[in-house]
Amino acid sequence: MAAPEAAQRRRRPHTLSLFVANKPGVLVRVALVFARRNYNIESLVVSPAARGDFSRMTVTCSGDPATLEQIIKQLTKLVDVVHATDHTGDASYETEVALVKIVQPMDRRTETLQIAEHYGAKVVDYGPESLILRAYGGSEKLDAMIELLRPKGLTDLVRSGKILMARGLQET
């Protein structure tokens, strides 16, 4: 299914993966590298890595592509960053979770549930005034589902931000 127009128009963000020491302040140091260069971070996921004392960060960001090389170098230069890799457009496995709240009377939910079923979204809360859907998958797929749900009474949206992992023996 083709993504609706709004999602297509959205600027394609860059996706970076960082392997960092799990220390206080590391998130601020990373964020400042972007902010100083007028880059906007669109999503950022931090989680413990397989090795103790280290964390993974997946950052999606948008801004001048020419600046990206410098951003990656400045991230790599941080003492607490072990490596920073640009995964934009590569074959890494990417996924994201979205929670969507729809406020809709019980008797008008047929189409909403059809959309949910099509996208493999699960109804995780089914109340008299509203329902919550949980969907996961590629960010563009979630964008498409969300656009279809907007006219159905979508009131709240929480997305986890993209996470990714490089395939095979390639480093994430």
Q: How far apart are CA 101 and CA 166, in angstroms?
A: 32
Closer to other proteins by Cβ: residue 51 or 150? 51
Q: Minimum CB separation from other proteins for residue 71, in Å?
A: 10
Q: Minimum CB separation from other proteins for residue 65, in Å?
A: 13
Give DSSP secondary structure letters for the chain. -PPPHHHHHSPPPEEEEEEEE--TTHHHHHHHHHHHTTPEEEEEEEEE-SSTTEEEEEEEEES-HHHHHHHHHHHHHSTTEEEEEE-TTSS-EEEEEEEEEEE--GGG-HHHHHHHHHTT-EEEEE-SSEEEEEEEE-HHHHHHHHHHHGGGTEEEEEE---EEE-STT---
Q: Minimum CB separation from other proteins for residue 19, in Å?
A: 8
Closer to other proteins by Cβ: residue 29 or 134? 29
Closer to other proteins by Cβ: residue 50 or 79? 79
Q: Minimum CB separation from other proteins for residue 32, in Å?
A: 6
Backbone angles phi, psi at 124, to 5 degrees: -105, -10
Q: Can you give the binding site for other proteins, defined by CB under 8 A?
A: 20-21, 24-25, 28-29, 32, 36, 69-70, 73-74, 76-83
Closer to other proteins by Cβ: residue 24 or 168? 24
Closer to other proteins by Cβ: residue 20 or 154? 20
Q: Minimum CB separation from other proteins for residue 79, in Å?
A: 5
